[in-house]
Amino acid sequence: MSDFSFWVILSNLLLATRWTILLSLIAFVSGGIVGLALLFARTSGIGWLQNLTKGYIEFFQGTPLLMQLFLFFFGVALFGLEVSPWVAAWLALTFWTSAFLTEIWRGCVEAIPKGQWEAGDVLALTYFEQMRYVILPQAMRIAIPPTVGFSVQVVKGTALASIIGFVEVTKAGTMLNNATFRPFLVYSLVALIYFALCFPLSYTAKKLERRLYAAR
Amino acid sequence: MRYALQFGDLLPYWHVLLGGLIFTIVLTLVSTIVGIGLGTVCASIRAFGPRWADAIAGAYVELIRNTPFIVQLFFIFFGLPAAGVKLSETTAAFLAMVINLGAYSTEIIRAGIQAVPKGHLEAGESLAMSRIEILRYVVLKQAFQKVYPALCSQIIIVMLGSSVVSQISAEDLTYAANYIQSRNFRAFEVYFVAALFYLVLAISMRAILRGIGHVIFPKA
Domain with residue A138: its CATH number is 1.10.3720.10
Buried b (16+ CB within 10 A) or exposed e, B160-191: bbbbbbbbbbbbbbbbbbbbbbeeeebbbbbb
The H or E element that residue B149 is part of is helix B140-161
pLDDT at A4: 72
pLDDT at A59: 96
pLDDT at A216: 54
Per-residue pLDDT band at B178 (split at 50, 70, 90): very high
**In this structure, is residue A1 part of a structural domain?**
no
Per-residue pLDDT band at A215 (split at 50, 70, 90): low
**CA distance linking residue A184 with residue A180, whole number of Å:** 11
**CA distance linking residue B84 with residue B95, whole number of Å:** 16
What's the average model confidence in pLDDT over B33-44? 96
Per-residue pLDDT band at A75 (split at 50, 70, 90): confident
Q: A44: domain range?
A: 6-215
Smallest CA-to-CA distance from B36 within B110, B139, B137 is with B110
Task: Identify the three-state secondary structure at position A170.
Answer: helix
What's the average model confidence in pLDDT over B120-132? 91
Is 50 exceeded by the pLDDT of residue A156?
yes
Q: Which amino acid is at B37?
A: G
Is-contact A73 A85, C-beta < 8 A?
A: yes
Is-contact B171 B23, C-beta < 8 A?
A: yes
Is-contact A24 A193, C-beta < 8 A?
A: no
pLDDT at A1: 47
Q: Which residues contact residue B195 at a Cβ distance below 8 angstroms, ignoring those fewer than 6 apart?
A: A63, A64, A67, A68, A71
Buried b (16+ CB within 10 A) or exposed e, A112-139: beeeebeebeeeebebeebbeebbbeeb
Q: Which residues contact residue B72 at a Cβ distance below 8 angstroms, ignoring those fewer than 6 apart?
A: A191, B64, B96, B99, B100
C-alpha dihedral, A17 to A21 to A26 to A32, nearest 10°: 150
ipTM entry: 0.90
Q: Which residue has the higher pLDDT, A77 or A187?
A: A187
Contact list in A for residue B204 (CB cut-off 8 A) is none
**CA distance linking residue A155 with residue A195, whole number of Å:** 10
Question: What is the pLDDT of chain A when averaged over all its residues?
Answer: 92
B191 and A170: CB-CB below 8 Å?
no
Per-residue pLDDT band at B185 (split at 50, 70, 90): confident
**In this structure, is residue A34 part of a structural domain?**
yes
Is-contact A63 B202, C-beta < 8 A?
A: yes
User: What's chain A's length in residues?
Assistant: 216
CB pairs under 8 A between A and B: 125
Per-residue pLDDT band at A211 (split at 50, 70, 90): confident
Residue A146 near chain B (CB below 8 Å):
no
Is-contact B35 B98, C-beta < 8 A?
A: yes
**CA distance linking residue B216 with residue A83, whole number of Å:** 49
- Neighbour tally for A162: CB within 10 Å: 27
**CA distance linking residue A190 with residue B71, whole number of Å:** 7
Query: DSSP assignment of B66-77, as one string?
Result: TS-HHHHHHIII
**In this structure, is residue A57 part of a structural domain?**
yes
Count of domains for chain A: 1
Q: A127: distance to nearest CA of chain B, Å?
A: 32
Q: A59: distance to nearest CA of chain B, Å?
A: 7
Q: pLDDT for B60-85, tens place per residue?
A: 999 999 999 999 999 999 999 988 88
Give me the residue spans of the domains in chain B. 31-216
CA geometry: angle A148, A151, A164, nearest 5 deg: 175
pLDDT at A98: 97
**In this structure, is residue A186 part of a structural domain?**
yes
Question: Which of B27, B63, B70, B185 is the best mutation test for A, with the most CBs of A within 10 A?
Answer: B70
Please state the three-class secondary structure of A13-52 as a single string: HHHHHHHHHHHHHHHHHHHHHHHHHHHHHHCCCCHHHHHH
**CA distance linking residue B1 with residue B23, whole number of Å:** 36
Q: B59: distance to nearest CA of chain A, Å?
A: 11
Q: Which amino acid is at A58?
A: E
Residue A133 near chain B (CB below 8 Å):
no
Is 50 exceeded by the pLDDT of residue B86?
yes
Query: DSSP assignment of A96-113, as one string?
Result: HHHHHHHHHHHHHHHTS-
Q: pLDDT for A116-148, tens place per residue?
A: 999 999 999 999 999 999 999 999 999 999 999
Pick the CATH number of B31-216 from 3.40.50.2300, 3.30.460.80, 1.10.569.10, 1.10.3720.10: 1.10.3720.10
B83 and A177: CB-CB below 8 Å?
no
**CA distance linking residue B46 with residue B24, whole number of Å:** 31
A67 and B3: CB-CB below 8 Å?
no
Smallest CA-to-CA distance from A36 within A99, A115, A127 is with A99
**CA distance linking residue B89 with residue B170, whole number of Å:** 5
Question: Which of B61, B74, B155 is the best mutation test for A, with the most CBs of A within 10 A?
Answer: B74
Shortest CA distance from B69: residue in chain A: A156
Shortest CA distance from B178: residue in chain A: A70
B188 and A62: CB-CB below 8 Å?
no
Q: A21: distance to nearest CA of chain B, Å?
A: 14
What's the average model confidence in pLDDT over A68-77? 91
Per-residue pLDDT band at A3 (split at 50, 70, 90): low
Contact list in A for residue B72 (CB cut-off 8 A) is 191
- Neighbour tally for A54: CB within 10 Å: 14
pLDDT at B174: 95
Angle between helices B173-184 and B187-216 in degrees, nearest 10: 160
